[in-house]
Amino acid sequence: MKSLLSLVLLGLIVACSAVSPPLLAPPRILACDDPETEHAAAVSVNHINDHNLHGYKQVVNRIEKVNVLPRRPHGEIFFLELDLLETDCHVLSPVPAVNCTVRERTNHAVKAECDVKLLKDNGIFRVLAAKCHSSLDSAEDVAKPCLGCPLLSHLNDPEVVKAAHTGLNTFNAKNNTGYTILEISRGIKRVYPITVHVEFAIAATNCSAKDVQEHATDCHVLKGDEAQFGFCKATVIQNLPGAVEGAPLEEISVSCTIFEHEPRKAHAHLAEHHFGKKIPSPGVGHTILDLAHSHNDTHASHESHSAEAGVPVGVVKRSVVLGPGPQICPGRIRHFALD
């Protein structure tokens, strides 16, 4: 009888051992400036830039934190906290972000703080989720290197909007195709002389330049293979009446770059995103779906999710308390610090 009971107990032990999942390895500790972490950050920023429908491309300024957890049945999950800086390349631009110029502090820099979750499996990173919000450099910090430098205006400022349309009309007057404003992405005003500088994205319509100005409501943005986008910078200077004899009341300069057609998934929906759904450009009081450009609404954010296959990540508790060691995070500042 005792032998039979022993056999039953032994069988239960073997059965339990057979179904018990293998223990997960403890989390790895990586430095923020480790090449593997920087690789994950680069993949993250590419994902953010590819899925952002507003504003400008971003680059890494600093890796604030990295956590690496094992994942069943294989692979690892990376959690990154990133500080990004805005460049002067619009998200429509085909220029890679690494080749774009970072916006200087004297030009009122914009930073983004992002939390990114990635899966690394067989040496390949894939972004599972990304959440970002952005904010302007403070007026005090802008004034430190450049006292009197102008600050960014709200994107829905009437003078900024007027300058954008003035610049567009000037550009359309020199072209056969009629373009319309996709979004106003940046505006700055100066007091003397009264000057408005504005940057805006444009999209080609099915109308001529003349018709788009006279019958704008009848014109539609081209889509699909016919879609054409561009980016403009315009400056409008108001001259005081009689200040200079014979001088026009308004001086207008505008330059636009029309991008080669690039069938990208995110950009294919730009027209519907801005026009079809009537979603405004980032502005005061707006909650927007935007990965990294909402400087007039710092509470606005956007999460980009993709399904994660497999069993959820397990967390292994440690019984050993780590003593103080060298600081491995945050990482180095690549450009300049924004508080």
Most distant CA pair in the chain: distance in Å? 119
Look at residue 304 and tell me whether its pLDDT is greater than 90.
no
CATH architecture of 23-148+282-339: Roll (3.10)
Query: Sign of torsion, CA 137 138 142 148?
Result: positive
Mapped onto helix, strand or coil, the DSSP state of residue 210 is: helix
- Over residues 189-211, the mean pLDDT reads 90
Quote the CA–CA distance of 86 and 132 in Å, as a whole number: 13
Torsion of CA 134, 138, 143, 148, to 10 degrees: 80
pLDDT per residue over 13-41, tens digit each? 555 555 555 566 678 899 999 999 999 99
- Over residues 160-188, the mean pLDDT reads 94
Please provide the average confidence, as pLDDT, over all residues in the chain.
79
> Tokens 């349309």 label which residue?
165
Q: Would you state the pLDDT for residue 241?
A: 61
Beta carbons of 71 and 77 less than 8 angstroms apart: yes
Q: Would you state the pLDDT for residue 106?
A: 85
Look at residue 234 and tell me whether its pLDDT is greater than 70.
yes
Query: Sign of torsion, CA 61 110 86 308?
Result: positive
pLDDT per residue over 312-326, tens digit each? 333 333 333 344 445
Same fold, 23-148+282-339 and 157-279: yes
This prediction has a pTM of: 0.76
Assign 338 a pLDDT band (cuts: 50, 70, 90): confident
Q: Would you state the pLDDT for residue 218?
A: 82
> 258 or 296, which is more confident?
258
The candidate with the shortest Cα–Cα distance to 263, out of 229, 224, 231, 230, is 224
Look at residue 155 and tell me whether its pLDDT is greater than 90.
yes
Quote the CA–CA distance of 133 and 295 in Å, as a whole number: 8
Which residue blocks in the chain are alpha helix, DSSP H?
2-19, 35-51, 139-143, 158-172, 209-214, 265-268, 270-271
Look at residue 90 and tell me whether its pLDDT is greater than 60.
yes
Assign 242 a pLDDT band (cuts: 50, 70, 90): low
CATH architecture of 157-279: Roll (3.10)
> 206 or 291, which is more confident?
206
Quote the CA–CA distance of 225 and 227 in Å, as a whole number: 6
Q: SS3 letters for 10-64?
A: HHHHHHHHHHCCCCCCCCECCCCCCHHHHHHHHHHHHHHHHHCCCCEEEEEEEEE
> Cα–Cα distances in Å, from 213 out to 219, 223, 278?
9, 20, 20
Beta carbons of 108 and 137 less than 8 angstroms apart: yes
Q: Would you state the pLDDT for residue 191?
A: 84
Query: Residue 202: in which H helix or E strand, if any?
Result: strand 194-208
pLDDT per residue over 262-301, tens digit each? 665 445 555 555 555 444 454 432 322 334 333 443 333 3
Q: Would you state the pLDDT for residue 215?
A: 74
Beta carbons of 66 and 329 less than 8 angstroms apart: yes
> 310 or 207, which is more confident?
207
Query: Sign of torsion, CA 111 117 123 126?
Result: negative
Q: Would you state the pLDDT for residue 159?
A: 95
| C-alpha 67 chain-centroid distance | 22
Going from N- to C-terminal start, the domains of the chain cover 23-148+282-339, 157-279
Quote the CA–CA distance of 30 and 37 in Å, as a whole number: 7
Residues linked to residue 112 through DSSP beta bridges, in sequence order: 84, 134
pLDDT per residue over 33-83, tens digit each? 999 999 999 999 999 999 988 999 999 999 999 999 999 888 999 999 999
Q: Would you state the pLDDT for residue 240?
A: 63
pLDDT per residue over 99-120, tens digit each? 999 998 888 889 999 999 999 9
Assign 243 a pLDDT band (cuts: 50, 70, 90): low
Report percent pLDDT > 90 for the chain.
Answer: 48
CA angle 281, 285, 286 (to 5 degrees): 35
Q: Would you state the pLDDT for residue 5?
A: 55
Residues linked to residue 205 through DSSP beta bridges, in sequence order: 221
Q: How would you label 82-120 residue by residue, b for 16+ Cβ within 10 Å and e otherwise?
A: bbbbbbbbbbbbeeebeebebbebebbbbbbbbbbbbbb
Assign 217 a pLDDT band (cuts: 50, 70, 90): confident
Tokens of 96: 């890679």
Q: Would you state the pLDDT for residue 145?
A: 79
